[in-house]
Amino acid sequence: MRLGYAWKRLQDKLRAARLLRSYAAHSRWSPDELKRHQRERLRALLAHALEKSPFYAELYRKSGVDADSPLEDLPVVDKKTLMANFDRVVTDPGLKLAELRAHLARLERDEYYRGEYRVFSSSGTTGHEGIFVYGREEWSLVLAARLLTGSLGERALFGPLAGGGRTALIVAHRASSASVASAATLDVFGSRYLFLDAALRVDELAARLNAARPRGLVGGSSLIALLAEEQLAGRLRIAPRVVVVGAELATENMKRRILDAWGVRPSEAFGMTECPSFGLSCAAEPGIHVREDLGILEVVGADGAPVPDGTPGRRILLTNLYNRTQPLIRYEISDVVAMAPDPCPCGSPFRRIAELSGRSEDVFVLPGPDGRTVSIPPAQLRAVAGGFPRLVQYQFVQDEGALVVLLVVSGGRDAEREIAETLRARLNGMLLAHGAAVPELSFRFVAQLEREPGGKIKLIKSNVAAARR
């Protein structure tokens, strides 16, 4: 590693450590202190965007809003609009989309762009390209956020377990990933992380983990659940003390199998390239605390109006309070979430995501009465698949007029028959209760589910919605 390059990474990490001390105190704030912080940060962000971003200056002028306007009066921005106006959105006129794409194309590790910027790409589930840029100070706050949320188990492994082994980070191994780059910066001298490509076969991952014996295990929920099955079968033999899952929904069945395998209940991380390391599950209560000192999360319905806490929305609006290089203000993301209606007994001022259901693209739309359509949210489908001890994995796939359920079952033909019969009855009952016409149902038993690029398994997949996008 080049000395100058390592020194810059170390500077970022040291700056992150200073920010960590400051931001850690925010967990002891009162709700009023948090709201005051959000108002001050939002006003400063809006003033900066109005002065430095030609896109926001024009958008807000046309919309009749300014730096003192309430958040809910500001227009919503989506990824397609952001990318179409990229060169006018960013506040450094030297940042050009074409040049950033070229930088990403030749990226091999966590290199800086022009010595000052971190650049990442994300397509999410929409298929639309997104490129996101962070300045040096903003990047240090991303690193601090990672430590604050413990999204890699760093707070445990760098604290009480210091010197006690590495964390295995199993991710889509691409240099344009914020997750990979932030871990690489924190691991500046290469001693704390074992990077494994999530695209590897499960048996290959098990072999490498057996050789490394990591004390921390981090990766996508479905992939970690598959590794738990390997552990229970005796092919994987590790004893992690920290298990963190994220990148996709973790079902209760996945979490139970992980607990059975290692005696550790997994922590759930929540984040996105637009605001990495944004939350972590609460140790006291179910749900994921959102770091609302870093960003503001609004849960809205299909009409864009806010939904009450406890009610799943159809999308979220994110306002990143610290990224001034590429302001993201009321930025639309298709996550389907419901916020907990009550304060957490743990005393945190940060609200909890009570239900993380996936993406709005995963909502099944079925024919209903009188020619109307009925939307079946992912949570309803997952509910009917719950409570089967011998159901290892499942996947619901919607095609025109048909619903195929792929099942991985342990216990032989008797278990398969019992689960299929019960699932059919549950699905029929749930769909009829929602007023939906029951499509043709079929069940297929498979040895394993196909993983998406990057190692994820999409539990609920609507080919109908994909064809309409």
Say whether pLDDT at 42 is over 60.
yes
CB 259 within 8 A of CB 224: no
The model's confidence at residue 90, banded by pLDDT at 50, 70 and 90, is very high
The two tokens of residue 243 are 């298990």
Domain CATH number, residue 304: 3.40.50.12780
Say whether pLDDT at 153 is over 50.
no
Beta pairing class for 315-320 and 295-300: antiparallel
Q: Are residues 323 and 416 in the same domain?
A: no
Task: Label residue 243 left, alpha or beta by phi (over 0 means left) and psi (-120 to 50 means alpha).
Answer: beta
Q: Are residues 323 and 251 in the same domain?
A: yes
Whole-number Å distance between alpha carbons of 184 and 51 = 34
CB 407 within 8 A of CB 424: no
Q: Are residues 397 and 454 in the same domain?
A: yes
Mean residue pLDDT across the chain: 85
Q: Spell out the residues 6+ positions from residue 4 whose beta carbon is closer than 8 angstroms to its own.
A: none
Ranking 65-69, 182-186, 303-307, 339-343 by mean pLDDT, the lowest is: 182-186
Q: Are residues 339 and 420 in the same domain?
A: no
Q: Are residues 382 and 460 in the same domain?
A: yes
Query: Who wins on pLDDT, 320 or 404?
Result: 320
Q: Are residues 217 and 347 in the same domain?
A: yes
Q: Are residues 191 and 335 in the same domain?
A: yes
* Predicted local distance difference test score (pLDDT) of residue 157: 42
CB 55 within 8 A of CB 308: no
Q: Are residues 409 and 434 in the same domain?
A: yes
pTM score of the predicted model:
0.79
3-state secondary structure 149-172: HCCCCHHHHCCCCCCCCCEEEEEC
Q: Are residues 58 and 37 in the same domain?
A: yes
Domain-terminating residue out of 358, 379, 401: 358
* Predicted local distance difference test score (pLDDT) of residue 353: 92
* Predicted local distance difference test score (pLDDT) of residue 129: 76
Q: Are residues 213 and 334 in the same domain?
A: yes
Domain-terminating residue out of 330, 358, 386: 358
pLDDT in tens, 163-216: 446 889 887 766 677 777 887 787 766 667 888 887 788 889 999 999 999 999
Whole-number Å distance between alpha carbons of 337 and 366 = 21
Domain-terminating residue out of 301, 330, 358: 358
Domain CATH number, residue 430: 3.30.300.30
Closest residue by Cα to residue 113 from 130, 128, 94, 129: 94
Ranking 8-17, 234-243, 306-315, 381-390 by mean pLDDT, the lowest is: 381-390
The model's confidence at residue 463, banded by pLDDT at 50, 70 and 90, is confident
Q: Are residues 87 and 209 in the same domain?
A: yes
Q: Spell out the residues 6+ positions from residue 176 whose beta carbon is closer than 8 angstroms to its own.
A: 104, 107, 119, 120, 121
Q: Note down the domain range covering 277.
A: 3-358
Q: Half-sphere exposure (CA, 13 Å, Cβ side) for 347?
A: 5
CB 37 within 8 A of CB 26: yes
Mean pLDDT of the region 115-123:
86
Mean pLDDT of the region 344-359:
85
Number of domains in the chain: 2
* Predicted local distance difference test score (pLDDT) of residue 209: 96
Q: Are residues 247 and 373 in the same domain?
A: no
The model's confidence at residue 258, banded by pLDDT at 50, 70 and 90, is very high
Q: CA angle, 288 as apex, 283 and 289 as ends, to 5°?
A: 90
